[in-house]
Amino acid sequence: MSSATPSPTTSARRSTPGRTASLARTLTALALATSLAACGGSDDEQVAAPPAESASAEPAAAASPLECPLEATEVKAPAGVSSALDTKPTVTGVSGPAPTELQYFDIVEGDGDEAVTGSQVTVKYLGAFYDSGKEFDSSWSRGADETLPFGICQQGVIPGFAVGPSGMKVGGRRQIIIPGELAYGAAGQGDIPPNAPLVFVVDLVTVN
């Protein structure tokens, strides 16, 4: 795979020659980077201690769970999608306008741990263009056991990819349809044109 091949990750995690430049992209060029930062922050972010209160103060409310500023809409799965988890999935191109919202459908429902906002996960994935179904990147092309680690609704991958697997359970396969503004945006990347809608098929391998 050439150095121009885009990947959903924006920071290099592997030392494969020629991939460092394309994987070193950041989310700062995307309009929703700030939202994702507010949702989970970096791995080094620390939670500030609450200020001291007087003895007469009411007990502090329990901290609320992290909430993601983006949500994906579930849609009906088309017939004929790839459900064999030991086989590289395929994507069929779709004619007509792409959706303007983040969408997903579950191909296989897992029965393991659930991925929620803040979870650290590993996935197998295939990325393709929405209109043609042509693959532009895939963990499968680097080996059947190759996985990608990232945090749900956290920076490090494109926004739609960061949010799309939320709610999945280990052992599941999901197709995620990402509008251009939640993918590589107006800047595009490598062979991906500006504002291009994308499709990813994701297999959830682990959740921590």
Q: Which domains, and CATH codes, for the chain?
A: 20-42+67-207 (3.10.50.40)
Question: What number is the average pLDDT over the span 108-129?
Answer: 97
Question: Which residues neighbour 104 within 8 Å (Cβ) at sequence distance 6 or greater?
Answer: 72, 73, 74, 75, 164, 174, 175, 176, 177
* E strand or H helix at 33: helix 33-39
How many residues are present in the chain?
A: 208
* The two three-digit tokens of residue 176, written as one number: 């995620």
Backbone φ, ψ for residue 5 (5° rounding):
-70, 120
- Find the range with the poorest average confidence among 36-40, 84-88, 98-102: 36-40
| pLDDT at 134 exceeding the cut of 70 | yes
Question: What number is the average pLDDT over the span 141-146?
Answer: 96
E strand residue ranges, 65-160: 73-74, 103-108, 120-129, 135-138, 148-151
Using 50, 70 and 90 to split pLDDT, how confident is the model at 7?
A: confident
- Find the range with the poorest average confidence among 7-16, 18-27, 52-61, 139-148: 18-27
Q: Who has greater pLDDT, 22 or 199?
A: 199
| pLDDT tens, residue by residue, 159-178 | 999 999 999 999 999 999 99
Specify whether the CB–CB gap between 3 and 19 falls below 8 A: yes
Residue 67: per-residue pLDDT: 82
Read off the pTM: 0.74
| pLDDT at 40 exceeding the cut of 80 | no
Question: What number is the average pLDDT over the span 76-88?
Answer: 89
